[in-house]
Structure 1
Amino acid sequence: MGAEFLPKPSENDLSGDYQAAPVILGLLPAALVDHIATVDLSILSRIPGEPGGSFPVAAEELKDLLKEVNTHISSSPNDLSPVKTIAGGSVTNTIRGLAAGFGISCGVIGACGDDEQGALFLKNMSFYGVNISRLRVKDEHTGQCVCLVDPLGNRTMRPCIATAAKIQAGELKREDFKGSKWLVVRYSIYNIEVINAAIQIAKQEGLLISLDLASFEMVRKFRTPLLELLESGNIDLCFANEDEAAELLSGEQVAGPEAAVDVLGKYCQWAVVTLGPHGCIARHKKEVVKVPAIGQTKAIDATGAGDLFAGGFLYGLVKGMSLEECCVIGSCSGGSVIRSLGGEVSPENWQWMYKQFKTKGLPVPIVSLPTYTRIYLIIDTQGDT
């Protein structure tokens, strides 16, 4: 059998209180709900910002964008999928993946609104066993993000968070972090105050910090504050994709992924640059490894690929695996999410990932998943389909 499953204390418990100290925490200053749709390139040319990146939009822009996407989908029924709405955001994808596919106890710190979108977010995260007891529910709107997936599987993000329910730096408590091992953070200049406060408290409680560089647009426009954050010495692990790495090295004489991990390695214990279909390069102290992508396949949607890679890599670190093994697990995990739409991995794609583990001689995680998922996977592994 490919995976062993352990029951939760209660399958219907949505409080997330059954684990006092999750191993890995995710910082969600403003929880997001993703609206994901496949679109053609014509829409991307008509929206603000560059295709392929992530850049905030105002509430009216979000509404107009969703309206245009829905209109375009309804007028092109033959080749475009409906909009899919799920709990979203980079940190959410990483934390949900770690809980659902790897069996790591995870929780989130942050805020969401007391609205329909907030309820959807809470239900989705609780469904996968993520501890939500540190998530503040406020009498405001929940953040939303439109994720546009082009015919090549690339995604363009347009989040609306300016008026969303947010946790403030002063609301963070040491009890939120006590007993945990890792804090997962996504770089954003718009949340820099709460990010810095969370990192400071987490460090006081002995947590390690994982930072994702978010998007090439964010790095380009706010490179100086990012460098200050890295130079603080508080970041233990940093993830960047090729575009983000290029922006980080902007103006440097030597560029490229190898140069990027060397630069990040000056500030962090672990540095990783993901290379899309070409795998990744990673550094830990003086050790550098380059690992190819696992299970080459055409990407249906690249949304969440880096987030799930980060989750797999973190799983490897938590389990004390080598740098190369962490990269292989990350590559398998990232490969699992690009096989369908959105940043939520389906049961059959987790199963695909577990089979890659067995092929590579890696142990399959012991996980606790929702009942229907657990039954599906047990049948599938026993049938070896």
Structure 2
Amino acid sequence: MVAEFLPKPTHNSGDSAAAPVILGLLPAALVDHIARVDSSILSTIPGEPGGSFPVAAEELKDILKEVDTHILSSPNDLPPVKTIAGGSVTNTIRGLAAGFGISCGVIGACGDDEQGALFLKNMSLCGVNISRLRVKDEHTAQCICLVDPLGNRTMRPCLATAAKVQAGELKREDFKGSKWLVMRYSIYNLEVINAAIKMAKQEGVLISLDLASFEMVRKFRAPLLQLLESGNIDLCFANEDEAAELLSGEEAVRPEAAIDVLGKYCQWAVVTLGANGCIARHKKEVVRIPAVGQTNAVDATGAGDLFAGGFLYGLVKGLSLEECCIVGSCSGGSVIRSLGGEVSAENWQWMYKQMKTNGLSAPVVVQDL
């Protein structure tokens, strides 16, 4: 399995004196093994289709063996299996650096192994500052992303024995000078998340939270609500399924209801609606926009992550709420055109074209690709 890398943008990815504008929290950096498979494999693995649920090391090995017998051919002669630096936060941060030219960095840990080296190389080549990433004498986390013929993805991460940054290892200096911290909800990382939030808030950093998966919200809804009710989450992203689980117990869950609930806790709230676009709220303002552009979805992996990256780019650049949603939709649409959560140079160009079509200026980094 070979990783695909984008050309390195012009900004520095090493030990830069200037703090990254946006940081991503990666308690356990991971590598994705993305495979196009027939749907029958989903009935043979733990958890429900379509979500993201942790598995043990032995289960990971068993699923990888099953993948070999369920592989589908890919369109355009693309490899059916791809291995890249993965994870929701990774996809968002890498996209912001490589496609939008925003100064980004990551805080966390990876293992001193082959997978860890691949992760570091991939992120560095995409212009991400990795100076805050601890390298430990342990294994790097891995995740299997199974993509069915319709482009839907089922994710099974293996994190239990992976290299992980501990709450006590975080320092206020990690957050100093940055504007945003991007994180993903996980009950297994709650101690690190809370420690990071505390230090980030002490440094005046805004917090963006992704709700991760409907399974995670369903099983650990109470601590998630406690996190939201703390008032420390400035921006929250949820898809339709996650929003429905958050509002479980109500007879009918509509996106408008979910956005109202999230809006009670967060300055900005966004519910993505797949092919139907998104709905977003900032204080009393609510906007709803359709999906941007026409594209055939090859793989939905990273769609929400890249949407978040585009939306954050809009906030950093001072765009309106509607414009932030449009950029997010363009960005999310760019990643589903190929396998995996990394956008190719060709698909970045597709995104820039969509932005211009919708009356928005393309990022300056377009000239560096």
- TM over 0.5: same fold? yes
Equivalent position amino acid for 1:85 in 2: T
Q: Distance in 2 between matches of 1:36 and 1:254?
A: 35
- The 1:78–1:179 alpha-carbon spacing in structure 2 relative to 1, beyond 3 Å, is closer
Match of 2:110 among 112, 127, 137: 112
Counterpart residue number, 1:156: 154
- The 1:78–1:216 alpha-carbon spacing in structure 2 relative to 1, beyond 3 Å, is closer
Match of 1:247 among 239, 245, 248: 245
Structure 2 runs not aligned, ≥5 long: 1-7
Counterpart residue number, 1:56: 54
The answer to whether the 8 A contact 1:6-1:368 is kept is no
Q: Distance in 1 between matches of 2:317 and 2:27?
A: 28
Question: Could you say what the CA RMSD is over the residues aligned between the two structures, in angstroms?
Answer: 1.6
Q: Distance in 2 between matches of 1:85 and 1:345?
A: 14
Following superposition of structure 1 onto structure 2, how do residues 202-221 of structure 1 map, counting pairs within 5 Å? Answer: 202-221=200-219
Please report how far the alpha carbon of residue 18 of structure 1 lies from its aligned counterpart in structure 2 after TM superposition: 2.6
Q: Distance in 1 between matches of 2:10 and 2:192?
A: 35
- The 1:215–1:314 alpha-carbon spacing in structure 2 relative to 1, beyond 3 Å, is same
Q: Distance in 1 between matches of 2:355 and 2:30?
A: 31
Match of 2:293 among 282, 292, 295: 295
Count of matched residue positions in the alignment of Structure 1 and Structure 2: 360
Following superposition of structure 1 onto structure 2, how do residues 84-163 of structure 1 map, counting pairs within 5 Å? Answer: 84-163=82-161
Equivalent position amino acid for 2:27 in 1: P
Q: Distance in 1 between matches of 2:100 and 2:304?
A: 16
Structure 1 runs not aligned, ≥5 long: 10-14, 378-385
Equivalent position amino acid for 1:200 in 2: K
Match of 1:230 among 210, 228, 231: 228
Counterpart residue number, 1:7: 10
Q: Normalising by the residue count of structure 2, what TM-score does the alignment of the two structures yield?
A: 0.95
Counterpart residue number, 2:5: none
The answer to whether the 8 A contact 2:100-2:363 is kept is yes
- Runs of 4 or more consecutive aligned structure 1 residues displaced over 4 Å after TM superposition: 76-81
Please report how far the alpha carbon of residue 77 of structure 1 lies from its aligned counterpart in structure 2 after TM superposition: 5.6
Following superposition of structure 1 onto structure 2, how do residues 147-186 of structure 1 map, counting pairs within 5 Å? Answer: 147-186=145-184
Please report how far the alpha carbon of residue 6 of structure 1 lies from its aligned counterpart in structure 2 after TM superposition: 7.0
The answer to whether the 8 A contact 1:216-1:243 is kept is yes
Secondary structure in structure 2 of the residue aligned to 1:22: coil
The answer to whether the 8 A contact 1:7-1:368 is kept is no
Secondary structure in structure 2 of the residue aligned to 1:133: coil
Q: Normalising by the residue count of structure 1, what TM-score does the alignment of the two structures yield?
A: 0.91
Q: Distance in 1 between matches of 2:102 and 2:182?
A: 14
- The 1:338–1:289 alpha-carbon spacing in structure 2 relative to 1, beyond 3 Å, is same
- The 1:18–1:78 alpha-carbon spacing in structure 2 relative to 1, beyond 3 Å, is closer
Fraction of identical pairs, as percent: 85
Please report how far the alpha carbon of residue 361 of structure 1 lies from its aligned counterpart in structure 2 after TM superposition: 1.1
Q: Distance in 1 between matches of 2:112 and 2:359?
A: 46
Q: Which has the higher contact order (CA 8 A, sep 6+)?
A: 1
Q: Distance in 2 between matches of 1:175 and 1:36?
A: 35
Q: Distance in 2 between matches of 1:78 and 1:354?
A: 25
Please report how far the alpha carbon of residue 78 of structure 1 lies from its aligned counterpart in structure 2 after TM superposition: 8.3
